[in-house]
A and B are shown apart, each in its own frame.
Chain A
Amino acid sequence: MQVPAPFEYVRASSVGEAIDLLERLGPEARLVAGGHSLLPMMKLRLATPEHLIDINPLAGELGDVREEGGEVRIGAMTRHRDVLESELLVRRFPIMRDAERRIADPPVRNRGTIGGALCQADPSEDLSAVCAALKASVVIRGRGGDRVLDMVAFHRGPYETAVGDAEMLVEVRVPVRPHGGSAYEKVERRAGDWAIAAAGAALWLDGATVADAGIALSAVNPRGVRCERAEQALVGRPPSEEAFAEAAALAAEDCDPIADQRGSAEYKRHLARELTHRALRRAAERTLAS
């Protein structure tokens, strides 16, 4: 039967207390938010933390989505369901709903959080690609105060982020810029499965040309999620099929998929191209509609 190894459990009632606990209990302590990644890993004994610090009491403090200072700020404890249902996010960043609709299933979305997903940094996880495409930044709090990092600095690879010992992610900040559009495309084996491959794209127009672009892939890119060469290929050009095809080809070239039961490396690379192209096309449509 699947039962976890012994561990101690403690609840944190404030961010400050959570950080104190992390500092006091040391590197064998783990924060638990939604728990939908950590608890299964503990039951399989792939993770054997000595202490769990439950930060669900912080859901109020860190569970807010609001627009402020030219940014949409999403608290780290915001549940997937609240991201999915946020009218503000749908209006500003439709890519969020595209992705959230296809993350796992309602029970997981009811509990799982955006901060948990980003910090777990599963290579097939969707929100890292979404945030990278939107050029979001994250706020990491420690005893010494806050650090603000972009997604490239934050996401260091599979299961690895810039969050240090005795630090925690508290907020995601997404810049609001004019004439933007975004979209997410994903192929999965069945509803709620991890992606075989997925692509997020965001475009910002300046008149008839692309002022800036964000492209990020999931499940095919163990090294990082952003596709900067593909992004650069779009800047200064009209949002055309030709430009999208070129960017999609670059994104596929720069990704590094591995073969597994979800598909061959070749197939995943093909999907990276196809889905990048589709995401760009849909992002552009939304740009023009906005």
Chain B
Amino acid sequence: MAATEQRPIGFGRLKRKEDPRFLRGEGTYVDDVKLPGMLHGAILRSPLAHARIVSIDTSAAQQHPKVRVVVTGRDLEGLGLAWMPTLSADTQAVLATDKVRFQGQEVAFVVAEDRYAARDALELIEVDYEPLPVVSDVRRALDPDAPVIRDDKEGQTTNRIFDWEAGDEAETERVLADADVVVVTQEIPFQRVHPAPLETCGSVADMDPVTGKLRLWTTSQAPHAHRTLYAMVAGIPEHRIQVIAPDIGGGFGNKVPIYPGYVCSIVGSILTGRPVKWMEDRTENLTSTGFARDYLMRGRIAADRDGRIRGLRVDVLADHGAFNATAQPSKYPAGFFHIFTGSYDLEAAYCSVRGVYTNKAPGGVAYRCSFRVTEAAYLVERMVDLLAAELEMDPVELRMRNLIRSDQFPYTTKTGWEYDSGDYHATMREALRIAGYDELRREQAERRARGEHMGIGVSFFTETVGAGPKAKMDIAGLGMADGAELRVHPTGTAVVRLSVQTQGQGHETTFAQIVAEELGIPPEDVEVVHGDTDQTPFGLGTYGSRSTPVSGAAVAMVSRKVRDKARLIASAALEVAPEDLAWERGRWFVKGDPEQGRTIQELALAAHGTLTLPDGVEGHLDAEAVYDPPNLTYPCGAYIAVVDVDPATGEVRLRRFVAVDDCGVRINPMIVEGQIHGGLAEGAGIALMQHIAFDEQGNCLGGSFMYYGGRWSLEVPDWELGETVTPSPHHPIGAKGVGESSNVGSPPAIVNAIVDALAPFGVRHVDMPATPGRVWEAIRSASGTAAPPR
């Protein structure tokens, strides 16, 4: 790895500016916010997945000497706040009034003088529930006798939420029915998982009874969107709401929605006139906040015998839980799932997605991916491997024959995406080179001859990240475009203000480097301000890898505006026409006389000084920009996993993992690599262990890290990273977004490797998470007997 000590003015490896405060424990997270007179809230949650509330008796809790107020759904009804809108045009109960619809649902809110008393008082609340039949299996949700979960909704007589489709069904069916093609059909579930950020969700609400201003410190990936939604829902004027997302300990999509607890803390502050803090615990986070995936997919893929893939169809049953609280652009109820054709040039493709309610927690957030791209990539990459097995063809060879060629970009898919750029074959070849693919296959053959079970798994993914454009993409009517403001101070240091919110992505460094690249101001001289709606321009926030594709572009554009303004100031200072000036990083100089010039720092001082500025040029050196992306960006990658499986125990060891990412131009390669490392570790956890499972009664079986846990650093290999660089042609700096790619591309590579290892037993598919038990069962059901001990 290159030294980080050379401090680039612009793009390059640079240690993160934010790290000293994190490494010294000096970050300020929501739970670190302590205000004078602050009270503490706690939520009583339903122990049952589906039950009618007969009565709630809060009298004993209210008698507790330290309790200030107890709030129930009935109380909220009086304020018009018992229900709130979700990000998917549905409603969600803030506190249950009629029924509870999932285990862990919010039933009552206690505000007390300390968090111990608040928790103690929860045990004094008596709720009388009348249990109802439970729908915990998505396959049973549309049974004629299934209980209707959302009987609160006018006209809702089943558990169906929506039916959505993309592509050409007739054409796809025609291809699948062609007598000459090989068709493989497979049911492929992507299990319910949870983003599980280490910092759980919470808020501190402070409604000033004198000024009527609400300050809300909250775990939010989208502070501006949240402010607008609070204004719309609670009726508080938007200019009297200040949303502050301080340091955020991971988000991964989990901190995009607005949760009942946030609303309760606001209500608690209004009712008591005091600041109220609410922080959920680990179990509350895992059992009640936005989950991800939970797609039951059935794929059909068709190819000619020579391996030309022709058509792909997938039908999805999507489990959205008890409220449709999926966070995604509003015109896309299945997110961007229709990118399921992946990286291949197909003749026909079609998908249908049916969303249903179940008695499970609501969500369906974009967990480290752009709105269902992970599900889509897993589906197509498993289907291609199944096809390779059926055709008895090497899975790399099959992919190479069908990947979109570089001369086909921009490429329009059969479901309407316009891929901006890529050189997929080059990316794949780079992965094969790093992995030593041919040598791995030779090693595998030798090991198989010795009775050992080594597997090699390949995936190639394309992501679609950086939503909008805003004309096509909005959340709750808010267009997906983001602002940036840049001010250069008289002494030449600068402050850039962003609409997006870092949760660990390194924005304070990356965005300073973009300003540095464009203006030549060293990154340490650029302060990055974000996360406070009173301090920053409007924008939709950080998720779906939006920050660099959208806000990164906004920062580049605002820097260029400042540069253009600096040129006019330089022309006045040097007494030459602006056209006679040329730019080198950090300096305008006279063409043909390079000695004559002014640095950006000198120009900043001039802009604030006594220099007579040209007509039409106002003083100071600053600008604003709003960036509405013309298209999404399309990062891609080729991943190769190597596993060893012990068939007698089902244990899988992830031995090697090669990840070649093409995310266009890399601003800070060190941060990019860190992002890839993190996503790979998460992807490995999802592939091998993580599952938010439920029993028949709707009890959540994944409510703690004892049951739902990721990989430790001890259990992952040294990631072997590589890159190809295909700049995005429409992005100002050619960047594409990368924070999520590795979580999208890694699960199929790992599962493909496991299935490859088990091929001698006749195994064609193993569901995630591929726990030792599942792997053993897959061998047994494929081969009829368990492997003998070695």
Contact = CB atoms under 8 A, between A and B. Distances in A.
B133 interface: no
Contacts of B714: 191
B19 interface: no
B570 to A, nearest CB: 57
Given A2-B282, A278-B789, A190 B115 contact: no
Given A1-B115, A3-B115, A191-B715, A270 B786 contact: yes
Contact of A264 (B119, B282, B715, B777): B777
A192 interface: yes
Contacts of B116: 3, 6
Contacts, number: 72
B120 interface: yes
A187 B651 contact: yes
Residue picked from B119, B706, B714, B789, most chain A C-beta under 10 Å: B789
A263 interface: yes
Contact of B281 (A1, A261, A268): A1
B673 interface: no
A5 B52 CA distance: 29
Contact of B789 (A105, A263, A274): A274
B701 interface: yes
A267 B715 contact: no
Nearest to A185: B649
Interface in B694-727: 701-702, 706-707, 709, 711-712, 714-715
B167 interface: no
Contacts of A261: 691, 693, 701-702, 707
B648 A274 contact: yes
A6 B691 CA distance: 34
A189 interface: yes
A105 B705 CA distance: 14
B280 interface: yes
Contacts of B715: 190-191
A278 B790 CA distance: 9
Contact of B689 (A3, A190, A271): A190
A229 interface: no
B772 A2 contact: no
B276 to A, nearest CB: 13
Given A190-B711, A274-B649, A263 B771 contact: yes
B776 A267 contact: yes
A193 interface: yes
A1 to B, nearest CB: 5
B279 interface: yes
Contacts of A192: 712
Interface in A1-22: 1-3, 5-6
A141 interface: no
Given A271-B649, A277-B789, A190 B709 contact: yes
B42 interface: yes
A187 to B, nearest CB: 5
A189 B687 CA distance: 12
Given A271-B649, A274-B649, A274-B789, A187 B772 contact: yes
A270 B777 CA distance: 11
Q: Size band of the B side of the interface?
A: 35 or more
Interface in A44-89: 44-45
Residue picked from A261, A264, A271, most chain B C-beta under 10 Å: A261
Interface string B502-543: 000000000000000000000000000000000000000000
A1 B689 contact: no
Interface string B537-556: 00000000000000000000
Nearest to A241: B789
A262 interface: yes
Interface in A161-204: 187, 189-194, 196
A243 B104 CA distance: 52
Contacts of B279: 1
Interface string B242-279: 00000000000000000000000000000000000001
A190 B688 CA distance: 9
B650 interface: yes
Residue picked from A2, A45, A275, most chain B C-beta under 10 Å: A2
A3 B282 CA distance: 12
A3 B709 contact: no
Interface string A124-151: 0000000000000000000000000000
B701 to A, nearest CB: 6
A139 B48 CA distance: 45
A243 to B, nearest CB: 14
A271 B711 CA distance: 23
Contacts of A273: 789
Interface in A75-107: 105
A276 to B, nearest CB: 10
Interface string B110-146: 0000011001100100000000000000000000000
Nearest to B648: A274
B402 interface: no
Contact of A3 (B119, B711, B712): B119
Contacts of B789: 245, 248, 273-274, 277-278
B674 interface: no
Given A3-B116, A261-B707, A267-B650, A189 B689 contact: yes
B283 interface: yes
Given A187-B772, A190-B711, A278-B789, A267 B689 contact: no
Nearest to A267: B773
Contacts of B712: 105, 190-192
B644 to A, nearest CB: 15
Interface string A223-250: 0000000000000000000000100100
A263 B689 contact: no
A193 B714 CA distance: 13
Nearest to B284: A1
Given A3-B119, A6-B120, A264-B777, A187 B649 contact: yes
Residue picked from A5, A44, A45, A270, most chain B C-beta under 10 Å: A270
Contacts of B648: 274
Contacts of A248: 789
Given A189-B771, A190-B715, A1 B709 contact: no
Interface string B752-790: 000000000000000000011100110000000010010
A273 B788 CA distance: 11
Given A261-B701, A278-B789, A193 B709 contact: yes
Contacts of A189: 688-689, 771-772
Contacts of B649: 187, 271, 274-275
Contacts of A3: 115-116, 119
A187 B115 CA distance: 39
A2 B704 CA distance: 12
Contacts of B777: 264, 267
17 contacts: A1-B115, A1-B279, A1-B281, A2-B283, A3-B116, A6-B120, A105-B712, A187-B650, A192-B712, A196-B773, A245-B789, A263-B772, A264-B773, A264-B777, A267-B777, A270-B786, A274-B648
Given A190-B715, A263-B772, A267-B776, 15 more contacts: A2-B283, A3-B116, A190-B689, A190-B709, A190-B711, A191-B712, A191-B714, A193-B706, A245-B789, A261-B691, A261-B701, A263-B773, A267-B773, A274-B789, A277-B789
Interface of B: 42, 115-116, 119-120, 123, 279-283, 648-651, 688-689, 691, 693, 701-702, 706-707, 709, 711-712, 714-715, 771-773, 776-777, 786, 789
Interface of A: 1-3, 5-6, 44-45, 105, 187, 189-194, 196, 245, 248, 261-264, 267-268, 270-271, 273-275, 277-278
Query: Which are the 4 A-B pairs with shortest beta-carbon distances?
Result: A263-B773, A2-B281, A267-B773, A1-B281
